[in-house]
Amino acid sequence: MKLHWYYLAYVMQVFIAVSTISALYIGDFFVAFSGVIALFLTMVPYMVRRSVHIVVPWKVNFLIALSLFLHIAGYSYQWYVDLYPYYDKIAHFIASITISLLGFLTVFLLDRFSCLRMKRWQIFFFIIMFTLAFSAIWEIWEFLLDTLFSPFLSTPLQHGLDDTMVDLIFDLVGALIVALLGTWYLKTRDFSQVAGTLVEPGYERYTEPDCERR
Protein backbone atom coordinates (compact mmCIF):
# COMPACT_ATOMS: atom_id res chain seq x y z
CA MET A 1 0.00 0.00 0.00
CA LYS A 2 1.47 3.35 -1.06
CA LEU A 3 0.63 6.72 0.38
CA HIS A 4 -0.25 8.33 -2.95
CA TRP A 5 -3.38 6.19 -3.27
CA TYR A 6 -4.83 8.08 -0.31
CA TYR A 7 -5.00 11.13 -2.56
CA LEU A 8 -8.11 9.60 -4.14
CA ALA A 9 -9.88 10.02 -0.81
CA TYR A 10 -8.53 13.57 -0.56
CA VAL A 11 -10.00 14.37 -3.98
CA MET A 12 -13.39 13.11 -2.82
CA GLN A 13 -13.11 15.30 0.27
CA VAL A 14 -12.53 18.31 -1.96
CA PHE A 15 -15.61 17.38 -4.01
CA ILE A 16 -17.67 17.11 -0.82
CA ALA A 17 -16.45 20.55 0.26
CA VAL A 18 -17.38 22.03 -3.14
CA SER A 19 -20.84 20.42 -2.98
CA THR A 20 -21.31 21.76 0.54
CA ILE A 21 -20.38 25.28 -0.55
CA SER A 22 -22.75 24.94 -3.53
CA ALA A 23 -25.61 23.95 -1.23
CA LEU A 24 -24.83 26.87 1.04
CA TYR A 25 -24.76 29.25 -1.93
CA ILE A 26 -28.24 28.23 -3.12
CA GLY A 27 -29.61 28.42 0.42
CA ASP A 28 -30.06 24.70 1.05
CA PHE A 29 -28.75 24.87 4.61
CA PHE A 30 -29.82 21.34 5.54
CA VAL A 31 -27.67 19.83 2.76
CA ALA A 32 -24.82 22.21 3.66
CA PHE A 33 -24.99 21.03 7.28
CA SER A 34 -25.03 17.42 6.07
CA GLY A 35 -21.96 18.19 3.97
CA VAL A 36 -20.07 19.41 7.03
CA ILE A 37 -20.95 16.18 8.84
CA ALA A 38 -19.87 14.17 5.78
CA LEU A 39 -16.49 15.93 5.74
CA PHE A 40 -16.03 15.07 9.40
CA LEU A 41 -16.90 11.42 8.75
CA THR A 42 -14.27 11.19 6.00
CA MET A 43 -11.68 12.23 8.57
CA VAL A 44 -12.61 9.54 11.07
CA PRO A 45 -10.20 6.91 9.58
CA TYR A 46 -7.29 9.33 10.02
CA MET A 47 -8.38 10.13 13.57
CA VAL A 48 -8.61 6.41 14.34
CA ARG A 49 -5.08 5.88 13.05
CA ARG A 50 -3.70 8.69 15.19
CA SER A 51 -5.56 7.73 18.36
CA VAL A 52 -5.59 3.91 18.40
CA HIS A 53 -3.12 3.11 15.58
CA ILE A 54 -5.62 1.21 13.43
CA VAL A 55 -4.89 1.49 9.71
CA VAL A 56 -7.95 1.60 7.46
CA PRO A 57 -7.03 0.41 3.93
CA TRP A 58 -6.96 3.18 1.33
CA LYS A 59 -9.66 1.47 -0.72
CA VAL A 60 -12.08 1.70 2.21
CA ASN A 61 -11.05 5.32 2.86
CA PHE A 62 -11.82 6.13 -0.75
CA LEU A 63 -15.18 4.32 -0.72
CA ILE A 64 -16.24 6.12 2.46
CA ALA A 65 -15.47 9.47 0.87
CA LEU A 66 -17.08 8.46 -2.46
CA SER A 67 -20.28 7.25 -0.78
CA LEU A 68 -20.63 10.47 1.20
CA PHE A 69 -19.89 12.59 -1.87
CA LEU A 70 -22.58 10.82 -3.89
CA HIS A 71 -25.06 11.48 -1.09
CA ILE A 72 -24.24 15.17 -0.63
CA ALA A 73 -23.83 15.91 -4.36
CA GLY A 74 -27.08 14.08 -5.11
CA TYR A 75 -29.00 16.66 -3.10
CA SER A 76 -26.79 19.66 -3.76
CA TYR A 77 -26.98 19.29 -7.55
CA GLN A 78 -30.44 17.66 -7.62
CA TRP A 79 -29.06 14.46 -9.15
CA TYR A 80 -31.37 12.43 -6.94
CA VAL A 81 -34.29 14.14 -8.71
CA ASP A 82 -32.96 14.56 -12.26
CA LEU A 83 -31.49 11.05 -12.46
CA TYR A 84 -34.09 9.25 -10.35
CA PRO A 85 -34.21 6.30 -9.76
CA TYR A 86 -30.87 5.27 -11.28
CA TYR A 87 -28.64 7.64 -9.35
CA ASP A 88 -30.31 6.72 -6.06
CA LYS A 89 -29.82 2.98 -6.62
CA ILE A 90 -26.18 3.36 -7.71
CA ALA A 91 -25.49 5.48 -4.62
CA HIS A 92 -27.16 2.88 -2.41
CA PHE A 93 -25.21 0.06 -4.02
CA ILE A 94 -21.84 1.81 -3.53
CA ALA A 95 -22.75 2.71 0.04
CA SER A 96 -23.70 -0.91 0.76
CA ILE A 97 -20.34 -2.10 -0.59
CA THR A 98 -18.64 0.40 1.71
CA ILE A 99 -20.62 -0.64 4.79
CA SER A 100 -20.04 -4.32 3.98
CA LEU A 101 -16.28 -3.75 3.78
CA LEU A 102 -16.41 -1.96 7.13
CA GLY A 103 -18.21 -5.01 8.50
CA PHE A 104 -15.49 -7.22 7.03
CA LEU A 105 -12.81 -5.07 8.70
CA THR A 106 -14.74 -5.32 11.96
CA VAL A 107 -14.33 -9.09 11.85
CA PHE A 108 -10.54 -8.71 11.62
CA LEU A 109 -10.49 -6.16 14.43
CA LEU A 110 -12.54 -8.45 16.66
CA ASP A 111 -10.02 -11.18 15.96
CA ARG A 112 -7.10 -8.88 16.73
CA PHE A 113 -8.41 -7.17 19.86
CA SER A 114 -10.62 -9.82 21.47
CA CYS A 115 -10.93 -13.56 21.90
CA LEU A 116 -13.84 -13.78 19.47
CA ARG A 117 -13.01 -16.07 16.54
CA MET A 118 -15.44 -16.57 13.67
CA LYS A 119 -15.64 -19.31 11.10
CA ARG A 120 -16.05 -18.36 7.45
CA TRP A 121 -19.79 -19.08 7.38
CA GLN A 122 -20.24 -16.92 10.47
CA ILE A 123 -18.29 -14.12 8.81
CA PHE A 124 -20.51 -14.44 5.74
CA PHE A 125 -23.71 -13.90 7.73
CA PHE A 126 -22.12 -11.26 9.96
CA ILE A 127 -21.31 -9.09 6.93
CA ILE A 128 -24.88 -9.39 5.63
CA MET A 129 -26.48 -8.63 8.99
CA PHE A 130 -24.03 -5.77 9.64
CA THR A 131 -24.91 -4.15 6.30
CA LEU A 132 -28.67 -4.65 6.53
CA ALA A 133 -28.70 -3.27 10.08
CA PHE A 134 -27.06 -0.05 8.87
CA SER A 135 -29.40 0.03 5.87
CA ALA A 136 -32.47 -0.27 8.08
CA ILE A 137 -31.20 2.48 10.39
CA TRP A 138 -30.60 4.70 7.34
CA GLU A 139 -34.13 4.14 6.02
CA ILE A 140 -35.59 4.93 9.46
CA TRP A 141 -33.44 8.08 9.56
CA GLU A 142 -34.76 9.18 6.15
CA PHE A 143 -38.34 8.50 7.26
CA LEU A 144 -37.90 10.59 10.42
CA LEU A 145 -36.37 13.46 8.46
CA ASP A 146 -39.21 13.41 5.94
CA THR A 147 -41.77 13.32 8.75
CA LEU A 148 -40.29 15.88 11.12
CA PHE A 149 -38.27 18.22 8.90
CA SER A 150 -40.01 18.15 5.51
CA PRO A 151 -40.34 22.00 5.37
CA PHE A 152 -36.54 22.25 5.46
CA LEU A 153 -35.89 19.64 2.75
CA SER A 154 -35.64 20.57 -0.92
CA THR A 155 -36.89 17.10 -1.95
CA PRO A 156 -38.33 14.11 -0.04
CA LEU A 157 -35.75 11.51 0.97
CA GLN A 158 -38.14 8.60 0.44
CA HIS A 159 -40.58 7.96 -2.39
CA GLY A 160 -42.87 5.32 -0.99
CA LEU A 161 -42.63 1.69 0.08
CA ASP A 162 -41.43 0.41 -3.30
CA ASP A 163 -38.50 2.84 -3.27
CA THR A 164 -37.48 1.77 0.24
CA MET A 165 -37.71 -1.94 -0.58
CA VAL A 166 -35.65 -1.57 -3.77
CA ASP A 167 -33.05 0.38 -1.78
CA LEU A 168 -32.82 -2.48 0.71
CA ILE A 169 -32.55 -5.03 -2.09
CA PHE A 170 -29.62 -3.13 -3.60
CA ASP A 171 -28.05 -3.00 -0.14
CA LEU A 172 -28.50 -6.76 0.19
CA VAL A 173 -26.89 -7.37 -3.20
CA GLY A 174 -23.87 -5.29 -2.20
CA ALA A 175 -23.59 -7.19 1.08
CA LEU A 176 -23.79 -10.56 -0.68
CA ILE A 177 -21.02 -9.60 -3.10
CA VAL A 178 -18.66 -8.54 -0.30
CA ALA A 179 -19.60 -11.55 1.85
CA LEU A 180 -18.93 -14.00 -0.98
CA LEU A 181 -15.67 -12.38 -2.07
CA GLY A 182 -14.57 -11.88 1.53
CA THR A 183 -15.04 -15.48 2.57
CA TRP A 184 -13.37 -16.64 -0.66
CA TYR A 185 -10.44 -14.30 0.09
CA LEU A 186 -10.00 -15.92 3.51
CA LYS A 187 -9.52 -19.34 1.94
CA THR A 188 -6.06 -18.37 0.74
CA ARG A 189 -4.99 -15.97 3.52
CA ASP A 190 -3.83 -16.40 7.09
CA PHE A 191 -6.54 -14.69 9.11
CA SER A 192 -4.31 -13.46 11.92
CA GLN A 193 -1.70 -12.07 9.54
CA VAL A 194 -4.32 -10.08 7.66
CA ALA A 195 -5.69 -8.75 10.95
CA GLY A 196 -2.15 -7.73 11.89
CA THR A 197 -1.85 -5.53 8.78
CA LEU A 198 -4.60 -3.29 10.19
CA VAL A 199 -2.31 -2.29 13.05
CA GLU A 200 0.13 0.57 12.50
CA PRO A 201 3.72 -0.71 12.31
CA GLY A 202 5.44 -0.59 15.69
CA TYR A 203 2.28 -1.11 17.73
CA GLU A 204 1.62 -4.80 17.03
CA ARG A 205 2.63 -6.01 20.49
CA TYR A 206 0.14 -3.71 22.20
CA THR A 207 -2.85 -5.14 20.36
CA GLU A 208 -2.49 -8.88 20.81
CA PRO A 209 -5.34 -10.20 23.03
CA ASP A 210 -4.48 -12.16 26.13
CA CYS A 211 -6.17 -15.40 25.16
CA GLU A 212 -5.28 -18.66 23.52
CA ARG A 213 -6.02 -19.06 19.82
CA ARG A 214 -8.14 -21.97 18.75
Single-letter amino acid, residue 91:
A
* pLDDT tens digit sequence for 18-29: 999 999 988 888
Domain boundaries, the chain: 1-77, 84-196
What is the per-residue DSSP string for 93-112? HHHHHHHHHHHHHHHHHHHH
The reported pTM is 0.85
Predicted confidence (pLDDT) per residue in 61-88, tens digit: 999 999 999 999 998 898 988 898 899 9
Q: What pLDDT is stored for residue 73 in this prediction?
A: 92
Band the pLDDT of 214: cuts 50, 70, 90: very low
Report whether pLDDT(157) > 60: yes
- The DSSP result for 62-93, as a single string, is HHHHHHHHHHHHHHHS-HHHHTTTHHHHHHHH
pLDDT confidence band for 37 (50 / 70 / 90): very high
Residue-averaged pLDDT of the chain: 85
Of 167, 179, 22, 16, the closest CA to residue 95 belongs to 167
pLDDT, one tens digit per residue, over 81-114 is: 889 889 999 999 999 999 999 999 998 888 777 7
> Contacts for 49-55 with beta carbons within 8 Å, 24 or more apart?
49/200, 53/199, 53/200, 53/203, 53/206, 53/207, 54/109, 54/198, 54/199, 54/200, 55/197, 55/198, 55/199, 55/200
